[in-house]
Chain A
Amino acid sequence: MITIIQYELKKMLIQPLSLMLILILLAVNGIVLLFNSEGSIVSRQDIEMQRAEQSQYAGAINENWTTSITEKLKSLKENPDNLISKDEKIKVQQGYLQRGYTQEYVDKMDNTNFLKPEILNSLSYNILLDAKYSSEFYDYAQQFSDMQGELYRREGDGKKGEALASKAEAMYGYLAQDYIAHYGYNLGWLKLSFMQSLMPFIVGLFLIVTISTIFSKEYSQKTDSLLLSTKYGKSRLIYAKLGASFILAIGFWITIQGMNLLVTAGLFGLQGAETYVQDWLFNNSPFAIPQLTNYIAVRIVSLIGVIFLTSIIILISVKSKSSFLTTVISTILLLFPVVISIPNVGGIVGRFISEAMLFMPVRLLIATDYFTFFRGYYIVGKVVLMQWVVPMVAILLSILVVSIAFKTFKRHQVEN
């Protein structure tokens, strides 16, 4: 069995295209790791400075912490050294008056408007602002609790709406009232989260190119007649093919995850495992879990995504007659949800599309956005979180799809 698996892996990897693709994909992933969002190479020095600055304020976000941040910001703003000169201040005020602001507004203007440009752009000031924003964590959580509760009661009908509303309120309410969020330097974790968005183009593409061949190439190469007439051609061979596909898929996924983790750890460090994940803008996670737990949750879903994606590629491969066709179909079917943005059509159709999108293998592969919002299904009187339902459905579909693939090859007829 192991020998057969080895040969199946060899068949997939021996194609010149596969090896070249591995190198290219590793290189692309590596380059993205080394660059920041502005497109320049990340500088260790900048990172160190940010780490030093943010680490001063690292800790649980509570009243004392909030007070101290507020004080610091206040004293910074009141320090005459940080402010522009009287003349410059008058100029700024006149500018506002000219743009139509009232005298009253201008008189009440806070010192923020009169900080020297070098202060405004300074790291320490911006980190303080960031910390100040973080001190509002619990308020935002409470707002989400209220908003989501109201939304589900308004949209949902009766029991269902009420159940979903209370679930959302309970989760965000917990964040607002009982959870203790931690502030701190966590660039490494943010980078790791960002790297997930690359998964379709690194892991996804690799799987589509290599695993597409697993069955279809036997047809197009006319080796099916040789294989199926051997003793194990209708049993162990198929297990070995499935095994090899999953080993390759999971192996490559682990390689990329490992590479991301190592490079990120080296470049940014992994401090901040205990910091909160919600930015209340793009990430409105209802889960009371910090970076590390969130990282693990995302990887579990992503791993399920890899398995799901692999299963579907295997099915396409076993059903189609040529591996080229398999590659094309797989690419369109599996990658298009991320490449093309679906127009936002409203109504039932839009609802259906957005619901279906949640079950796309490639979305699971990325996985990060599953943990950025509240979504629940009302199933027999209970609210089950989408974050449970989607991976479970994906696992069940994978099992179904793989067993269909197994039977299809077992019953394959050699006709040409």
Chain B
Amino acid sequence: MELKINKLTKQYGNKIAVDRFSVTFTEGINGLLGANGSGKTTLMRMMCDILRPTSGEVLLDGVNITTLDEAYRELLGYLPQNFGYYPDFSAWDFMLYFSSLKGLPRLTAENRCKELLNMVGLYEVRKKKIKTYSGGMRQRLGIAQALINDPKILILDEPTVGLDPKERAKFRNIISENSTGKIVLLSTHIVSDVEYIADRIMIMKEGQLSQQATTDRICDSIKDFVWSLQVAPNDVDSYNSNFIVSNLKHSGEQVELRIVSEERPSEKAVNVSPNLEDLYLYHFKGEV
């Protein structure tokens, strides 16, 4: 199975939200990393057949998804960013409703919903109205909803928003466990969401794909650009304004800085191995 994005473009007036985006997804977890406004949501909507591209196409095994229509959406699981819910529905109703929209027979649906609600820890409260849920609970319900039809293509737009650290860890496990044989794409502007579970990372910037690689190679591009340096507290401000400081740690009288820079920031700086956080900052320096 291969999902090919071919020069996909979406333009709103003068604003190009997604700009000739081309990439080919294969099975595995793909992390889409980008600052707010970089076009992740717009890209995902076009991939979910709910937003018409200005130009370009999305092909599943060579066939345009709009031609596939139902046959494509049958394979799809989607968690939109800031999705809505029916406040007076219970989680159970909500799940069964979407089960029927996804074409599951009643009995299969009930078993599946039970399984998923157990998985996201909402089974006990399934009869409560969604309006009484916390943000994290709603987000978990959204994740469960996306998995109902055991989708071959799972698209999650900022899935960890509203989750606490424990829920985030749980979420990563759920995705890892449910990703075999699937194309999973999850967008985030939080590096740690994808750092451990993604097989591939894509960095999206101003509507374009600015870098992509497997997770273990993605940082190679900046492997000579990350430095560690001990400075006096008085000098911190000057480094902060001249360089990207990705971390700052007090150690005794001195301050230890982690700096992302193509040039050696100081004679005393030593090269250290980069992480994804450094890469993110390297790409989005002006925007954070």
Give me the interface of A with B, judged by CB distance under 8 Å: 3-4, 7, 10-11, 14-15, 218, 221-237, 412-415
Contacts and interface: CB of A to CB of B under 8 A. Distances in A.
Nearest to B87: A221
A232 B83 contact: no
A231 B69 CA distance: 8
Interface stretch (B98-106, B187-195, B262-270): B98-106
A229 B48 CA distance: 6
Interface string B42-79: 00010011111000000000000000011001101010
B101 A414 contact: no
A226 B103 contact: no
A415 B76 contact: no
Given A231-B103, A232-B102, A232-B103, A226 B78 contact: yes
Nearest to B72: A231
A226 B100 contact: no
Nearest to A4: B100
A233 B82 contact: no
Contacts of A10: 89, 93
Interface class of chain B by DSSP: loop
Contacts of A224: 50, 84
A226 to B, nearest CB: 6
B100 to A, nearest CB: 4
Given A413-B51, A413-B52, A223 B101 contact: no
A223 B83 contact: yes
Contacts of A223: 83-86
A19 to B, nearest CB: 11
Given A3-B106, A225-B83, A233 B101 contact: yes
Contacts of B230: none
A229 B49 contact: yes
Contact of A225 (B45, B93, B106): B45
Interface of B: 12, 45, 48-52, 69-70, 73-74, 76, 78, 80, 82-86, 88-89, 93, 96-98, 100-103, 106, 145, 149
Given A14-B88, A415-B51, A234 B78 contact: no
Nearest to B73: A231
A86 to B, nearest CB: 80
A230 B45 CA distance: 13
A222 B106 contact: no
Contacts of A225: 45, 48, 50, 78, 80, 83-84
A7 B51 contact: no
16 contacts: A7-B93, A7-B97, A10-B93, A221-B85, A221-B86, A222-B80, A222-B83, A226-B80, A226-B145, A227-B101, A229-B49, A230-B101, A231-B70, A235-B70, A412-B50, A414-B51
Contacts of B93: 7, 10
Nearest to A15: B88
Contact of A229 (B73, B84, B96): B73
A3 B50 contact: no
A28 B271 CA distance: 82
Nearest to B157: A225
A412 B96 CA distance: 24
A216 B107 CA distance: 31
B152 to A, nearest CB: 13
B98 A226 contact: yes
Nearest to A237: B101
B50 A229 contact: yes
Nearest to B97: A7
A228 B84 CA distance: 13
A265 to B, nearest CB: 38
B110 to A, nearest CB: 11
B73 A230 contact: yes
Contacts of B101: 4, 227, 230-233, 236-237
Nearest to A222: B84
Nearest to A5: B100
A7 B98 CA distance: 10
Q: Which of A231, A235, A236 has the most CB of B within 10 A?
A: A231
A235 B73 CA distance: 12
Contact of A231 (B51, B97, B149): B149
A224 to B, nearest CB: 8
Given A10-B89, A230-B98, A231-B102, 14 more contacts: A4-B101, A7-B96, A14-B88, A225-B80, A225-B83, A226-B80, A226-B84, A228-B50, A231-B101, A233-B73, A234-B69, A412-B50, A413-B50, A413-B52
A28 B237 CA distance: 74
Contacts of A233: 73, 101
B268 to A, nearest CB: 50
Contacts of B69: 234
A228 B48 CA distance: 9
A411 B48 CA distance: 13
A15 B89 CA distance: 10
B142 to A, nearest CB: 8
Contacts of A3: 96-97, 100, 106
A414 B50 contact: yes
A53 to B, nearest CB: 55
Contacts of B106: 3
